[in-house]
């Protein structure tokens, strides 16, 4: 009988120790899901943060901003990666957010499209882009002034609920569900669809259009320059797409319109209570900002970052 009682006590101790260990691991693990736009930078941040805090672990998955918001609100993850303006409906559900960096959504075209040399010089106006992506009035290139090439425009869009599509649609005066085109999942998938279709056009976050290391556009894809002033040509102050650094500078100084330039966020259901999550967020908006530019993103102005620090301290 005594042996049985001792064994029972030992089993209880083991269970308790196991539970404590599991609890500690959970407290030291930060889980994130969401926007493809923010995913590469968050991975970079996690790697650098672990170098300083080796006891912290991360679970990070990309699946679109819609998934990031849903997972955050359901508290499935500690933080959601989010890449569009936060709606009143989301605020009403108790979402809490911190702005962490900035990038943009840029319209794209297959580099082998015979209309590309013309588009490179004339660009497309806001209204022309709206009539291609939202109203569907323009389905062939020769419907545009100054273009004689009679070729179909194969439009691609995102099939997943995402910040890129929401931001692009907002620029064009609509919502994601208003965008025309063949639905493709994910930022990499949308870029690949345009690369594989000579007649294809789409839109991508900057990080999936340019190579961070070389600063050049990825093979097979080109930018559709936006004719911001609508004068029918790409002026010198609108011509900043050749390299990644040029376009990032244009996003930072406002030469590229906003939207489709936008802030990127980490969101949660109310202010996080887990200390590891709060510490990571504080590091991101302070020491972690040194990695933003090298990862291919635009740093937020100091006053905006100071506001995020204050928000975390409240």
Q: Are 110 and 192 in contact (CB under 8 A)?
A: no
All structural domains of the chain? 29-103+263-313 (3.40.190.10), 104-261 (3.40.190.10)
Helix (H) or strand (E) holding 59: strand 57-62
pLDDT tens for each residue of 190-232: 999 999 999 999 999 999 999 999 999 999 999 999 999 999 9
Q: What is the pLDDT of residue 5?
A: 54
> The pTM is what?
0.88
DSSP β-ladder status, 221-223 and 95-110: antiparallel
Q: How far apart are the first and last CA of the chain?
A: 57
Please spell the DSSP secondary structure of 158-180, one letter per residue.
ESS--HHHHHHHHHTTS-GGG--
Q: Are 48 and 288 in contact (CB under 8 A)?
A: yes
Q: Are 293 and 299 in contact (CB under 8 A)?
A: yes
Q: 8 exposed, middle or buried (CB, 10 Å; 0-12, 13-18, 19+)?
A: exposed
Q: Are 35 and 264 in contact (CB under 8 A)?
A: yes
Distance of alpha carbon 271 from alpha carbon 278, whole angstroms: 9
Residues 6+ apart with CB under 8 A from 222: 108, 109, 110, 111, 116, 120
Which tokens is 75 given? 């508290």
Q: What is the pLDDT of residue 24?
A: 54
DSSP β-ladder status, 79-82 and 261-269: antiparallel
Q: What is the pLDDT of residue 26?
A: 63
- Flag residues of the chain having pLDDT under 50: 1-2, 4, 6-22
Distance of alpha carbon 83 from alpha carbon 35, whole angstroms: 6
């Amino acid at each position: 009988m005594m042996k049985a009682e001792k064994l029972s006590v030992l089993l209880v101790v083991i269970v308790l120790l196991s539970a404590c260990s599991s609890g500690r691991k959970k407290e030291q693990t930060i889980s994130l899901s969401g926007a493809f736009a923010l995913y590469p930078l968050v991975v970079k941040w996690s790697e650098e943060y672990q170098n300083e805090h080796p006891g912290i672990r991360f679970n990070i998955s990309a699946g679109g901003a819609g998934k990031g918001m849903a997972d955050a609100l359901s508290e499935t993850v500690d933080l959601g990666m989010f890449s569009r303006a936060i709606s009143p409906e989301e605020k009403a559900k108790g979402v809490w957010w911190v702005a962490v960096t900035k990038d943009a959504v840029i319209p794209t075209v297959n580099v082998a499209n015979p209309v590309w040399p013309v588009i490179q010089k004339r660009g497309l106006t806001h209204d022309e882009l709206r009539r291609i992506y939202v109203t569907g009035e323009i389905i062939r290139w020769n419907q545009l002034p100054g273009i004689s090439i009679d070729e179909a425009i194969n439009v691609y869009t995102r099939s997943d609920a995402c910040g890129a599509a929401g931001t692009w649609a907002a620029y064009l005066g609509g919502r994601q569900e208003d965008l025309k085109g063949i639905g493709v999942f994910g930022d990499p998938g949308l870029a690949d669809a345009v690369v594989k279709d000579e007649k294809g056009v789409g839109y991508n976050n900057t990080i999936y259009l340019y190579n961070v290391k070389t600063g050049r556009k990825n093979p097979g894809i080109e930018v559709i320059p936006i004719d911001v002033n609508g004068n029918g040509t790409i002026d010198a102050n609108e011509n900043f797409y050749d390299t990644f650094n040029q376009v990032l500078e244009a996003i930072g100084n406002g030469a590229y319109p906003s939207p489709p330039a936008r802030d990127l966020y980490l969101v949660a259901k109310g202010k996080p209570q887990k200390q590891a999550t709060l510490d990571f967020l504080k590091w991101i908006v302070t020491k972690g900002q040194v990695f933003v530019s090298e990862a291919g993103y635009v740093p937020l102005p100091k006053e905006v970052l100071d506001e995020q620090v204050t928000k975390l301290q409240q």
